[in-house]
Amino acid sequence: MKLSSVLLSSATLLATGVAAQAADLPSKKSAPVEYVRVCSTYGAGFFYIPGTDTCIRIGGRARFEYQYNQPFERSNDVTGTRSVGRIYLDARNATEYGLLRAYVRYELHRRNGTLASGTGSRIGQAFVGTGDYTVAQTGVYLDRAFVQFGGLTAGRTQSFFEFYAGDLEFNGVTAGSALGPTNLLAYTATFGGGFSGTIAIEDGVERRQAISDPNLIGGGTGYTGYGGNSAPDVVANIRLDQAWGSAQFSGALHQVRMAGLAASAGYAPSTEYGFALNAGVKINLPMLAAGDALYLQGTYSKGASTYTTSNGFGFAKATFGVGAFRGNGPDAVVVANGGSGSLELTTQWGLTAALLHYWTPTVRQAVYGSYVKTDFSNAASAAGAKYSTTAANVTGNYFRDWNYWAVGSNVTWSPIKDLDIGLEVQYIKASGSSSLSVLKSDPVGKLVSSDSQIVTRVRIQRDF
């Protein structure tokens, strides 16, 4: 036998033995890879959380804004900037009871200037520069956090009183609340044919304006706080959603309760209950262009000012400001009422119209206008005479009736999906039934019965 044949036979036997021995050993298989699966049930962007049947979407927004305000005194800022970041999580499950959903959205902002009300929740209301504060401000704001389970909604979200809510505006100036989110507990019933109805209890603290006590003679403006929170606001609506558009009628009941004794008078007015009503309709206009729509809305409130004008320009601390004009809008005014004391509730009403039109699929324009009227009772107006000129800088009736109207338009270009580049211009004018001197004007103490202001804003925004 040749040596080569012997070596080849030996190698074959060795390989066969090793292979047989290896076959007898336990094998270690790789664990199966669990890929992230797309969840198409709730639209684009959702995926299944691995190991669960929960669909989730993660998204956000980056926004920059530059604004010019027409100044009325040297201490006013003429320009201002704001950068906003938004992050949200939307988790959903289908259950035998209906949809189970949890939604959380944070907003983070950096801006020069601060709202006159000092609250981040009203950021859409008055982007007015630094003013007296002359500082920049950074904020982190819980914009949404709610759970939906069947017809139940619990958490922080938009009030069920809202309808139009300034949807087409960069800087909200139209009548209607559009206060921002609020804490609530609500139940929505669906009746078929597009009809639904909701009953909710909502955080009444979010809706408070100041109460004015003219008995605080020599005590500045005479505004006092609410008493302790003892009752939520009750909100209800009836809504219709169909192919032609939507319509809603809503109402709210709001407690007005003074903190304590009226200074120098020694009486505590009884608790009163204000209310607000809102009726709105949205009409789709596909005959003009895809996406076109017309909004019409009317609001009315008595003792619940923020349901009507919280979206007003510069409306904070019960004072509405346009240029050098100041109008007062407390929820109530304390009057003597024969020595026992009572609360006279302030009445407000407003009308709004807004139109959205797509000139091309990438260029759209919104045009809107609004009128708001504030009325005081005769007793409240008479009580305003108690303010002294030195205390409140008043030369006329402090609680005079006043009104404002606003018109505006913005044009937005979206060259690619989810990118918006826009410009907005607004004109706001306010007038009172009589002249009233103001602390800040040029010159100081000038009598003002009306004033106007122009506001311009540039916005660049990317959603993802």
Q: What is the largest CA-CA distance in the chain?
A: 135
Which whole number is the average pLDDT over 164-172?
Answer: 90
Contact call for residues 139 and 119 (beta carbons, < 8 A): no
- Specify if 31 maps to a domain: no
Question: Could you give the number of structural domains in the chain?
Answer: 1
- Specify if 40 maps to a domain: no
pLDDT, tens digit, for every residue of 325-354? Answer: 777 778 888 887 655 578 889 999 999 999
CA–CA gap between residue 449 and residue 443 (Å, rounded):
15
pLDDT, tens digit, for every residue of 381-420? Answer: 777 655 544 444 444 556 678 888 999 999 999 999 999 9
Give me the CATH number covering residue 351: 2.40.160.10
Which range is least confidently modeled, 42-51, 260-269, 278-287, 382-391? 382-391
- Specify if 322 maps to a domain: yes
How big, in percent rounded to 5, are the helix, strand and coil portions of the chain?
10, 50, 40
Q: What is the average pLDDT value for the chain, to the nearest integer?
A: 80
Three-point CA angle 215, 270, 375, nearest 5°: 65
- Specify if 16 maps to a domain: no
CA–CA gap between residue 56 and residue 37 (Å, rounded):
11
Centroid of chain to Cα 253: 20
Three-class DSSP category at 433: strand
For the cut 70, the answer to whether the pLDDT of residue 92 exceeds it is: yes
- Specify if 201 maps to a domain: yes
Residue 378 half-sphere exposure toward CB, CA atoms < 13 A = 0
**Percent of the chain whose pLDDT exceeds 90:** 48
**Percent of the chain whose pLDDT exceeds 70:** 71
- Specify if 30 maps to a domain: no
pLDDT, tens digit, for every residue of 294-315? Answer: 999 999 999 998 898 755 444 4
Centroid of chain to Cα 374: 22
- Give the pairing type, strands 363-375 and 293-302: unpaired
Q: Residue 300: in which H helix or E strand, if any?
A: strand 293-302
Residue 414: predicted pLDDT = 98
CA–CA gap between residue 143 and residue 145 (Å, rounded):
7
| Bridge partners, residue 188, by sequence | 198
For the cut 70, the answer to whether the pLDDT of residue 150 exceeds it is: yes
Which whole number is the average pLDDT over 8-32?
Answer: 50
* Six token digits for residue 277: 């009503």
Which whole number is the average pLDDT over 185-194?
Answer: 96
Query: If 0-12 CB within 10 Å is exposed, 13-18 middle and 19+ buried, where does residue 16 land?
Result: exposed
CA–CA gap between residue 312 and residue 178 (Å, rounded):
9
- Specify if 159 maps to a domain: yes
Running DSSP on this structure, what letter comes out for residue 32?
Answer: P
Q: Which of 441, 260, 314, 293 is nearest to 364 (CA)?
A: 293
Contact call for residues 248 and 279 (beta carbons, < 8 A): yes
For the cut 80, the answer to whether the pLDDT of residue 456 exceeds it is: yes
* Six token digits for residue 391: 């205390």
Q: Residue 340 is part of which domain span?
A: 54-463
Contact call for residues 293 and 282 (beta carbons, < 8 A): yes
Residue 14: predicted pLDDT = 42
Task: Band the pLDDT of 356: cuts 50, 70, 90.
Answer: very high
pLDDT, tens digit, for every residue of 119-132? Answer: 444 444 333 333 44
- Specify if 33 maps to a domain: no
* Six token digits for residue 392: 């409140």
To the nearest 10°, the Cα dihedral for 90, 93, 97, 103? -10
